[in-house]
Structure 1
Amino acid sequence: MSNVHYNQEECLTYGQMNLINDFRTLWTDVTFYLRGYALSSATGMDKLKEATRNRIYHIAHHFESKLEPFFGSEVSEQFETLILQFLVDIIQAIDAYFASDETALNQSLPAIYRDIDNISSFLAGINPYWSKEQWEGLLTKLLENGLSGLEAIKAENYEQDFEIIESNLRYATMMGDYMANGLLAYLQPAR
């Protein structure tokens, strides 16, 4: 017979694991659908592009529904608005990039960085276990990888694109973990 002992405080409940998985899935969806949008833009597949854009917009609502039980509808709806603006601005940047419209691209990028700042400040403001700097770093890296991915797609450098996809998926997992772990810490009673 094995003498394995588990410390109850170190084990996650099913609910906690579900929360982590939910946020991992949401951030993975962000990276997956934004890449799909970029590919459909690059290849001129307009019906796929439209369907993907609709999926991207719906992700914002999924974030809202996951945050609402913790922060209430007003706060979760504010986050939905912020994340939706971030995603819309990224879509505009993708459109500008593949249309070779440098003016529109140069207008989109500062807006995206403002979105990153707004999201990071907002999240740090509603939960002391989330850091503005950490969120800025994660979102900025996700954006920078995405921009590199656009270049790789346009140059048909698919090996580089795959490396970027893998990196973004790792970041999506880290973002999901960071978001979920911050919520779990927020819910824990002070010891």
Structure 2
Amino acid sequence: MKKIILMMCLLVGFVGIANSIYAAPMKCKMQCSRCSKPQIEFGKAMRVLWEDHIIYTRNYIISALADLPDADAVAKRLLKNQDDIGNAIKPYYGNDAGTKLSVLLCEHIMIAADVVKAAKMNDSKSLKSAQEKWQDNAMEIAVFLSSANPNWSKDDLQQMLLMHLDLTTGEVTARLQKDWNSDIDFFDKGQAHMLKFADVLSEGIIKQFPDKFMRA
């Protein structure tokens, strides 16, 4: 019982970490009425990619915690999404940069799987280690992205990525506690947050490469 309580404290504590440092994320300043068709289509495509990220992450959490037979298939599809996201930036930053982002995001997913596994097994030591690696990976992603585009603030990206970890951890915690309403609430917030993150990325790319998004 003490081990279970300690594990829950670690999970809840992790949720609090990101909340305590979270500030208002960068806001999309584009006026949609002034957007070109290429801008709108690119923004929609980026949203689809990151919504897939949050949806398949949730599907994996549900399957892994419940020992469902589709867990491996869901994990495979989730990892493909990270390749899709990396491929989406290759036309702007090149193949190497796109591959690098995919690698970092795949690491993000693999660590997330470790977090879910440790939480499920009530392994507080492994859980703490995985959470620390998860945060470090988020920092690395933020540094990588901000170095590629001056419109992306490293600090803002870090805060947004840590909030993503926070909300995802909230889903895991709620499902372990069978608090279904909180589980749904964490997912809804996480989905909205991920769409904001997608908008930040698409806006930054459009600002950096305006010639690629001219009106037809």
Question: How high is the TM-score relative to the length of structure 2?
Answer: 0.80
Matched, 1:116 2:138: yes
Matched, 1:183 2:205: yes
1:66-121, Cα deviation, whole Å (9 max, x unpaired): 00000010111111111111111111111111122222211111111110110000
1:118-138, Cα deviation, whole Å (9 max, x unpaired): 000000000001111111111
Please name the residue that 2:39 is paired with. Answer: 16
Distance (whole Å) between structure 1 residues aligned to residue 96 and residue 36 of structure 2: 28
SS of corresponding position for 2:150: coil
User: Matches of residues 150-169 of structure 1 in structure 2 within 5 Å?
Assistant: 150-169=172-191
SS of corresponding position for 2:94: helix
Q: For 2:81, which of 59, 69, 72 is the aligned residue?
A: 59
Q: What is the identity, as a one-letter code, of the residue corresponding to 2:128? A: N
Summarize the Cα distance change of 1:73–1:33 in structure 2 as closer, same or farther, 3 Å threshold. same
> How far apart are 1:22 and its partner, in Å?
1.5
Please name the residue that 1:5 is paired with. Answer: none
Matched, 1:29 2:62: no
SS of corresponding position for 1:113: helix
1:170-190, Cα deviation, whole Å (9 max, x unpaired): 10110110010010011126x
Q: What is the identity, as a one-letter code, of the residue corresponding to 1:143? A: L
Aligned residues: 181
SS of corresponding position for 1:18: helix
> How far apart are 1:11 and its partner, in Å?
2.1
Matched, 1:92 2:120: no
Distance (whole Å) between structure 1 residues aligned to residue 49 and residue 121 of structure 2: 28
Distance (whole Å) between structure 2 residues aligned to residue 77 and residue 183 of structure 1: 17
Distance (whole Å) between structure 2 residues aligned to residue 38 and residue 123 of structure 1: 27
SS of corresponding position for 1:44: coil
Distance (whole Å) between structure 1 residues aligned to residue 97 and residue 43 of structure 2: 20
SS of corresponding position for 1:34: helix
Alpha-carbon contact 1:23-1:177 (below 8 Å) kept: yes
Distance (whole Å) between structure 1 residues aligned to residue 32 and residue 186 of structure 2: 37
Alpha-carbon contact 2:52-2:81 (below 8 Å) kept: yes
> Which ranges of structure 2 fall in alignment gaps of 5 or more residues?
1-30, 212-216
Comparing 108-117 with 97-106, greater Cα deviation is found at 97-106
Q: What is the identity, as a one-letter code, of the residue corresponding to 2:40? A: M
Alpha-carbon contact 1:21-1:176 (below 8 Å) kept: no
Distance (whole Å) between structure 1 residues aligned to residue 137 and residue 56 of structure 2: 19
Alpha-carbon contact 2:139-2:158 (below 8 Å) kept: yes
Alpha-carbon contact 1:36-1:52 (below 8 Å) kept: yes
Comparing 33-42 with 171-180, greater Cα deviation is found at 33-42
> Which ranges of structure 1 fall in alignment gaps of 5 or more residues?
1-7
SS of corresponding position for 2:147: helix
- Pairwise CA RMSD: 1.6
Please name the residue that 1:4 is paired with. Answer: none
Q: Percent identity?
A: 18
- Higher relative contact order structure (alpha carbons within 8 Å, sequence separation ≥ 6): 2
Comparing 177-186 with 26-35, greater Cα deviation is found at 26-35
Q: For 1:101, which of 123, 126, 138 is the aligned residue?
A: 123
